[in-house]
Structure 1
Amino acid sequence: MKRPLTVMLVAAEASGDALGAGLARALKRRLGADAVRFVGVGGAKMAAEGVESPFDIAQLSIIGIVESLKAYPRAMARLRDTLDLTAREKPDVAVLIDSWGFNIRLAQALRRQDPGLPLVKYVAPQVWAYRPGRARALAKAVDLLLSIQPMDRPYFDAAGLESVFVGNSALAKSFAGADAARLRKALGLTPDEPILLVLPGSRPSEIERVMPVFEAAVRQLKANRPDLAVVVPVASTVADAVRARVAGWPFRAHLVEDEGLKDDAMVAGTVALACSGTVTTELALAGCPMVIGYRTGAITYGLLKRLFKPRWVTLFNIAADQAVAPEYLQDGLQAASLAREIGQRLDDPAARAAQIVAQNAALEKMGRGMPDPSEAAADALIAFLQRR
């Protein structure tokens, strides 16, 4: 019997977990479920597709210079675990998904451990925004790049790395099956109650730095709007931490962990308070106006402020070249400012409608409506392996 193709997928945070799961599903559709098997590192979504991770990826979901230094010994231990897994399972190809800090080191270590193993990077570092030298580093470490942003290619062409633009999976996400009424029924909410979505991030450091400010803003809003329903969709990587914090809130908040209900929540939301990240694109696709906040370590922020070229951090704001959704970052992340912006949107249907129109226009510039990137990524990976 022919040995199935063994694909190693490595994702170190929630957004990468979703990409890995999508790629696994697409490869099974292309090759047949019996013709491919998966090994590697991932979260709950990849586990559902057959990837048994040797450790919890929350250990690797790190952002910030100081945080990375503190977590370095733990990350290196998980790197060794991943190398051991590779040696045991002997994959035919390794696909390293996003998570630059961990996966560039893993790529370099795999190159030393098994020079013949084909290495693919899925999601490029944002060299168009800062640190263009990373294009050369990646070109030395891997054999193929699956890119999700059209502005990536010139940088990697110049570095001599083959790249294929597969599109951004966040833009391909469909909310056609989402149902606002189903969310309201599941949570016991009336059809008229305004809903504030609170999305505090998917990394432990984000819960630590961002969520307390979000909570303070929600306290102010609830004081003036007792009928406001607070709904908190939570990423699996930080579910325990979020659950513990929400349990101590002096008002009721509805925690949503079911993946289907998360989509329902996004279309049901009146306004969202969101941590900067992939979720902002998803909210825009769902037609939910939002206010965005973020805070990282002071040293990290100081460095990024010097290196980061765009005026905005949210992708659809960058595409629109304006603050379609207001961003409150670092010292600007204050509860009073967030509460004011959210309150204005809760009270003004016309303002919400105008923001949704602007978000949709920005999504069009970003390439909404492309074919499913998971399918394109699977096709590119298969073509690459056939050439090998």
Structure 2
Amino acid sequence: MTSLLERRRGKKAAKPAELPAPADGASSTGSPWAGGPDQPATPPSSGGGDDGENPPPQVVEWSNGPALVTKAWGAVLALALLAGPAALAWTLLRPQPAPVSATAGAASTAEEAAANERAIELVETWLRADSNDQQLLASLTNAPVGSLPQTGLTIRDSSVAQIEPADDDVWSVTVGVDVAEPAPGSTPPPAGGEAKAGEQTEVPLVWVRRYFQVPVLVDRTDTEWSGPNLAVTALALPAPVPGPAAAAEPPDLDYPETISPTSAAGQSAAGFLAAMIAGDGEITRYLRPGTSISAITPAPYTAVTVSGIKGTHEVTDDPADDDGTHALITAELTRLDGNKTTAQYVLTLVARDGRWEVAGLEPAVRINTTPSGTIDSGTAGD
């Protein structure tokens, strides 16, 4: 069997010592085959002769490799051509997936907003309307307008007090409105006439919060090009209803400790509030490092007087580092016109280097959630 390794015999390379010296002017780093007087211009060929000894072996390449690669690519192309019709058939015949309701939350929010707006518009128009506003009121509802007063009411501060789904696409909206009404005990003028001579012509008015319920239909239609469209209709005239009921028993607040306004913690809190809302001093001197609270500009008040402080933890005038409390602060604020009003703030006070600093302005009060008759042993570690 003939071996895949064939030997080629060539001339034996000369040893370095037998190489001729370079010609005059030639670089010593040039090729030894520089074409000297005793050497040929090119190196001897390595093939063809049979007179060399121990010629280097040469690997004969396998000539079938490129053919197999070509066949493999042909097979891949054939599979792709065969899979094309099958993929097309699957695309045409497979059932369409059910649409994913990714915007359900946004749609519900949009419908609520539309129902709220129509309910407020109808309530305001209905309260202000007089006998000349029949068509205006009819444009906002499908219900018969009926009779209207000769003079509309004066109102302010309309807002939605409650909204809840009533039926398919129907929302029940309760709107709260301040209505100017005759003060209790006053005698209203006669309906449709002027007061008699000697009678009081002006009746003192007071603002009373009233509530009105309106059913609103929101019909949502989605189109391919214009997106969602909302058709909004008030199904009935406003109905006066009681306002939202107050809590039967308000919760207890979680501020068991009394803190003196003249204590170190109280003075830090008072200085912070004066700087924040009255522009009195630099607010950063009262803040714990890393806390960012800005002063109100321009300042809406001229002075702040702290009248009471309740805390979640007991405080001292010589605190250790990281001692703290959540403080409910009652303060008297002096307005720019000299009048005074009372406000309450909830601050987080933390001790550092023997003094109290403000570490946060809390958004809400803390409620005592501990059941009665039990002792909350973990309060001091909060």
**TM-score normalised by length of structure 2:** 0.18
Could you say which structure has the larger radius of gyration? 2
**TM-score normalised by length of structure 1:** 0.18
The structure with higher relative contact order (CA 8 Å, sep 6+) is 1
Bigger proportion of residues as strand: 2
